[in-house]
């Protein structure tokens, strides 16, 4: 996991830079200013003056803010509603700056920001990321530019969104906002002592990005997700549009063919749940399809044997569905690495701790691979146990599959001790023990034969 903090005054290009870093590395971009803007929007909507601190504080119990990431894009929900660009209007900027000086508001938004960075690799921009939110971020950049240049950029940004504002107005607002943000008593917008200063006046977007990447690589090169050389897709959250489309087409069809029944579907977390490793027993070649079609809210990416990627069209299709090749004749490091990068991007991946298929055997007696434990230890991802049972099978075209979905296992439950020998194998074994227990309890409850 890597955490990159980008702080600095408004209009310095923080969001443009952070978005580019996110796009190039696959890690999530978190725009924390949007949270303050959302609170500002609510307060203004209630007709409360922006300097009425008590009025602002009295709104907080009625506000629920959620950060949701879909395909890597952040949406802030205010009491369940997406406000879109309404929070970008100049008046809301002034409200955001005012409410951000209220300590209770900062406290109110603190955990939302920290939680997202605990669960994901992030590039987060704001004013106090390096000083307060993530004081032990791997990289801290303080980005700024001259006042005039920042005002020019902000004008262009607003115009692109169809919001009209004069340069003079924007410059005046910006100066006022900078002064508020810098001089407030709590979490003032200043550089952390260990931040690297980057002044991008006169630098192009590409040059700013190159300069930032140089800083990032000098501080935490080995923590950056490895970019895959092939055209593998790193799916961030939930389902891609194409996957959703295919899922709906095949869901009913395969359910009919496999005659599969899903138990514990309610245990699958909501679409905005962070990284998850789905682990299951492995009895047949169709298990990945059965698992994928049993998950209603998430796309779990699977490894598939590399021979399948030689079949024209089929290869493209499974790639688009998020499958990626593994060479089963060797211990394929790049496939494991790709699984890690999916999880680091906050996505879902699936692995079979048994490695290969073990049809008809007692799963408790099969040997295990340590890959699942290794992936978990590297990413801190939670695990969703799934058990596939053909017991109580009635025959239709194929043997029936019962897919049993368990409750997610929090990574902390594994008590991982970094540097201790045998930890990967131990975690794999614990995961698989939970998978087997899930199956045994289901079979007992269903009198399975
Ligand atoms: O980055 P922005 O312009 O969207 O931020 C809006 C306001 O929110 C800004 O005036 C300062 C405040 N803010 C803050 O105090 N701390 C943050 N981490 C992010 C924004």
What does the block give as tokens for 156?
Answer: 């262009």
Task: Tell how far the Cα of 181 is from the centroid of ligand 1, in angstroms.
Answer: 8
Tens-digit pLDDT profile for residues 231-264:
334 444 456 677 888 888 887 777 777 677 899 9
Say yes or no: CB of residue 130 within 6 Å of ligand 1.
Answer: no
CA distance 151 to 221: 33
Nearest residue to 123 (alpha-carbon basis) of 10, 209, 233: 209
Say yes or no: CB of residue 430 within 6 Å of ligand 1.
Answer: no
Task: Tell how far the Cα of 7 is from the centroid of ligand 1, in angstroms.
Answer: 10
Q: What percent of the chain has pLDDT over 90?
A: 51
Nearest CA to ligand 1 atom 3: 10
Task: Tell how far the Cα of 62 is from the centroid of ligand 1, in angstroms.
Answer: 21
Say yes or no: CB of residue 254 within 6 Å of ligand 1.
Answer: no
What pLDDT is stored for residue 131 in this prediction?
A: 95
Say yes or no: CB of residue 48 within 6 Å of ligand 1.
Answer: no
Task: Tell how far the Cα of 39 is from the centroid of ligand 1, in angstroms.
Answer: 11
What does the block give as tokens for 292?
Answer: 């994928």
Say yes or no: CB of residue 126 within 6 Å of ligand 1.
Answer: yes
Nearest CA to ligand 1 atom 15: 100
Nearest CA to ligand 1 atom 5: 33
**Among 19, 126, 134, 180, residue to substitute to test ligand 1 (most atoms within 8 Å of Cβ):** 126
Nearest CA to ligand 1 atom 9: 97
- pLDDT (tens, 9 = 90+) of the chain, 449 residues, equals 899 999 999 888 999 999 999 988 888 999 999 999 999 999 999 999 999 999 999 999 999 988 887 666 788 889 888 898 899 998 999 999 999 999 999 999 999 999 889 878 899 999 999 999 999 999 999 999 999 999 998 888 888 888 888 999 999 999 998 998 888 888 888 999 999 999 999 898 999 999 999 999 999 988 888 653 333 344 444 566 778 888 888 877 777 776 778 999 999 998 778 889 999 999 988 888 889 888 988 888 888 888 888 888 788 777 777 788 888 777 677 788 888 888 877 789 999 999 889 988 899 999 999 999 999 998 899 999 999 998 876 555 566 789 999 999 999 899 998 888 899 999 999 999 999 999 999 999 987 77
Nearest CA to ligand 1 atom 13: 33
What pLDDT is stored for residue 231 in this prediction?
A: 33
Say yes or no: CB of residue 89 within 6 Å of ligand 1.
Answer: no
Say yes or no: CB of residue 385 within 6 Å of ligand 1.
Answer: no
Tens-digit pLDDT profile for residues 138-156:
999 999 999 999 999 888 8
Say yes or no: CB of residue 95 within 6 Å of ligand 1.
Answer: no
Task: Tell how far the Cα of 125 is from the centroid of ligand 1, in angstroms.
Answer: 9
**Among 96, 182, 188, residue to substitute to test ligand 1 (most atoms within 8 Å of Cβ):** 96
Q: How many residues does the chain have?
A: 449
The whole-model pTM stands at 0.55
Nearest CA to ligand 1 atom 14: 127
Say yes or no: CB of residue 3 within 6 Å of ligand 1.
Answer: no
Task: Tell how far the Cα of 98 is from the centroid of ligand 1, in angstroms.
Answer: 10
Task: Tell how far the Cα of 15 is from the centroid of ligand 1, in angstroms.
Answer: 11
Say yes or no: CB of residue 177 within 6 Å of ligand 1.
Answer: yes
Task: Tell how far the Cα of 186 is from the centroid of ligand 1, in angstroms.
Answer: 13
What pLDDT is stored for residue 335 in this prediction?
A: 83
Say yes or no: CB of residue 181 within 6 Å of ligand 1.
Answer: yes
């Amino acid at each position: 996991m890597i955490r990159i903090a980008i702080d600095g005054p408004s209009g310095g290009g923080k969001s443009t830079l952070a978005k580019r870093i996110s796009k190039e590395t696959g890690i999530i971009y978190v725009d924390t200013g949007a949270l303050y803007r959302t609170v500002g929007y609510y307060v203004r909507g209630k007709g409360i003056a922006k300097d009425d601190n008590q009025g602002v504080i009295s709104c907080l119990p009625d506000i629920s803010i959620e950060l949701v990431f879909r395909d890597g894009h952040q949406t802030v929900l205010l009491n369940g509603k997406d406000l879109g660009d309404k929070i970008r209007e100049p008046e809301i900027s002034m409200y955001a700056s005012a409410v951000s000086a209220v300590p209770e508001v900062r406290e109110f938004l603190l955990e939302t920001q920290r939680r997202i960075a605990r669960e994901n690799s992030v590039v987060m921009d704001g004013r106090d990321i390096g000083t307060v939110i993530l004081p032990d971020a791997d990289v801290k950049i303080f980005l700024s530019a001259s006042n005039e240049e920042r005002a020019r950029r902000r004008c262009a940004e607003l115009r692109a969104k169809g919001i009209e504002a004069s340069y003079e107005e924007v410059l005046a607002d910006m100066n006022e906002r900078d002064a508020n943000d810098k001089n407030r008593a709590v979490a003032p917008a200043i550089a952390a002592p260990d931040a690297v200063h980057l002044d991008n006046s006169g630098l192009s977007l590409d040059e700013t990005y190159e300069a930032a990447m140089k800083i990032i690589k000098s501080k935490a090169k080995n923590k950056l997700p490895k970019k895959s050389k092939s055209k593998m897709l790193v799916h961030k959250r939930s389902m891609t549009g194409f996957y959703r489309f295919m899922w709906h087409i095949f869901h009913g069809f395969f359910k009919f063919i496999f005659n599969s029944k899903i138990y514990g579907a309610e245990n699958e977390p909501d679409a905005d749940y962070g990284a998850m490793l789905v682990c299951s027993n492995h009895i047949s070649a169709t298990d990945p399809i059965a698992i994928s079609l049993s998950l209603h809210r998430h796309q779990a990416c699977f490894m598939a044997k590399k021979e399948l990627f030689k079949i024209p069209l089929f290869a493209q299709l499974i790639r688009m569905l998020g499958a990626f090749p593994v060479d089963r004749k060797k211990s394929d490091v790049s496939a494991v690495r790709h699984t890690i990068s999916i999880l680091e991007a906050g996505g879902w991946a699936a692995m079979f701790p048994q490695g290969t298929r073990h049809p008809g055997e007692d799963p408790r007696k099969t040997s295990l691979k340590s890959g699942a434990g290794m992936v978990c230890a590297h990413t801190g991802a939670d695990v969703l146990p799934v058990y596939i049972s053909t017991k109580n099978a009635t025959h239709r075209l194929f043997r029936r599959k019962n897919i049993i979905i368990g409750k997610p296992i929090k990574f902390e439950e594994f008590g991982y001790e970094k540097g201790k020998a045998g930890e990967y194998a131990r975690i794999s074994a614990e995961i698989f023990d939970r998978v087997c227990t899930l199956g045994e309890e289901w079979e007992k409850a269903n009198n399975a034969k």
